[in-house]
Structure 1
Amino acid sequence: MTKFFRSLHNWLGLILVVQIALWFLSGLIMAILPIEQVRGEHLRLVISANWQQAVVSPQQILQQHSARASFSLSERLSWKNNQLAATPVYLVNDGSELYRYSAATGNPVSALTEQDIRQLALAQYNGDGTLQAASLLQQLPQEVQQLPAPLWQIQFADSNNSRFYLDPATGKVIRVRTDSWRWFDFFWMLHIMDYQDRSNFNNPLLITFSASALLFTFSGIVLLWRRFRPRKRHTNPITAGN
């Protein structure tokens, strides 16, 4: 039995050594990186709309859509009198389409111009770089692949290699991506072993390696117990009779 567990432990160790090291390394790196910095919260100015301005009810908006439509809240940003302002907006996701309505009038919110997007991106940017490029993306890169297209990508020339992704109709920053986030995402990929989408925590590869690592740990415990378990003392019968 001991020989079986020793052989099992050794072979599992050889197979798992690299991935176990990557689990510890990636966990350490993700623990070290401040999550606020990873999300780019220090680079983004957040402004909220005054929802007392909302006159139209969500039910009035949802009546225009199918029963499967989902509903959420957002803001339409504008630059007025050298100040960033926000008005309330309803977002309706109906099938594969995203609709935006003014909560004050109920009218559809039209897309902003590139000049508006550039101005709003700069207004929401708290960094020390300059705006380098603006692109309206119909196909999104991996770092925002789970968001609905289209989105404006705004690139800033700063030490963080920052990119803002803005809603084309509201001008609101949806995501901030920096080099810190990209490093975090890389190590997250190694940690969950999803090398394609980097989001599936229940993929078969992770489950298989995790189960093998548990078996590796269990076999090690068995070997450790068999090595250090208390030994029974054998009494010499001649000595015991004296």
Structure 2
Amino acid sequence: MQVSFWVRRAHKWIGLIVGVQALLWMISGLYMVVVPLDVVHGDHLAHVFPEPLKPGAPRVAQATLNQLYPGITSVRLKTMLGKEVYEIRQGAAASVVDAASGVKLSPLERDTIKALAEESHVGEGDISGIEWVTKAPSEVGARPVPLWAVHYDEAGDTTLYFSPHTGDLVARRHNLWRIFDFVWMLHIMDYDTRDNVNNTLLRIATITGFAFALSGAWLLLYSFTRRKRA
């Protein structure tokens, strides 16, 4: 009798603690199921369609590039705003140079980023501001700074982030993504970096939930045993 009393009391308090987190799991899980990932990622807000390369266009030779920019580890030919450029990497550093002249274009200026944003953005709003970001906001995670942030005056408060070194669109952010990021934090119980799915709080919640299930199963079996005796 004494054992059942303490198991019932433990079950009640564990249920109260686990119940709050279980409610958060259900609410956050519902949001993540209802809102498609493509929408969360902002694929509907900006598209990047690589332009075809121009056959026979004048280009700086690879040997010349190596002389102009020693220590090149990789080279990629691409188009940017209708112009052919080389994206070169020297270790961890990346930059773009004019494919015809070999002149370095990085870091890209504000007007170039504005043109890239207007080319890729497919939303309904207009640009409300372009910001040079030197301290990465939490919504871009571990992406290296500096970045260009292009803000749009539209319902979802869209922000497109571009690399000043390569001109690449590195992140699309809007309110549905920001809500997803918040509920994801609640779901995995990582209130710091929001990316650790094996954190201590989640382990404690899992163990506590398991204890809740065990105590409930014991009480259920105990009630059946009691009825048989009666």
TM-score normalised over the length of structure 2: 0.79
Question: Which has the larger displacement, 108-117 or 123-132?
Answer: 108-117
- Following superposition, the deviation at residue 50 of structure 1 comes to 6.0
Equivalent in the alignment of 1:89: 87
Hey, what's the Cα distance between the residues in 2 that align with 1:30 and 1:197?
19
Q: Are the aligned partners of 2:24 and 2:186 in contact in 1 as well (CA < 8 Å)?
A: yes
In structure 2, list runs of 5 or more residues that go unmatched: none
Residues 191/19 of structure 1: CA separation in 2 closer, same or farther (3 Å cut): same
- Name the amino acid aligned to 2:42: G
Equivalent in the alignment of 2:50: 48
Q: Say whether residues 1:164 and 2:160 are aligned partners.
A: yes
Q: Is the radius of gyration larger for structure 1 or structure 2?
A: 1
Residues 198/4 of structure 1: CA separation in 2 closer, same or farther (3 Å cut): same
In structure 1, list runs of 5 or more residues that go unmatched: 66-70, 235-242
RMSD value over aligned CA atoms?
3.5
Q: Are the aligned partners of 1:153 and 1:164 in contact in 2 as well (CA < 8 Å)?
A: yes
Q: Are the aligned partners of 1:51 and 1:88 in contact in 2 as well (CA < 8 Å)?
A: no
TM-score normalised over the length of structure 1: 0.76
Number of matched residues? 219
Hey, what's the Cα distance between the residues in 2 that align with 1:11 and 1:165?
47
Equivalent in the alignment of 1:211: 207
Hey, what's the Cα distance between the residues in 1 that align with 2:26 and 2:228?
39
- Following superposition, the deviation at residue 231 of structure 1 comes to 6.9
Sequence identity percentage = 32
Q: Say whether residues 1:64 and 2:71 are aligned partners.
A: yes
Q: Are the aligned partners of 1:121 and 1:171 in contact in 2 as well (CA < 8 Å)?
A: no
* 1:13-68 deviation digits (Å, cap 9, x = unpaired): 122221111111111111111111100001111223669999859xx8xx928xxx
- Name the amino acid aligned to 1:100: S
Hey, what's the Cα distance between the residues in 2 that align with 1:74 and 1:48?
13
Equivalent in the alignment of 2:186: 190
Q: Are the aligned partners of 2:188 and 2:197 in contact in 1 as well (CA < 8 Å)?
A: yes
**Secondary structure of 1:165 counterpart:** strand
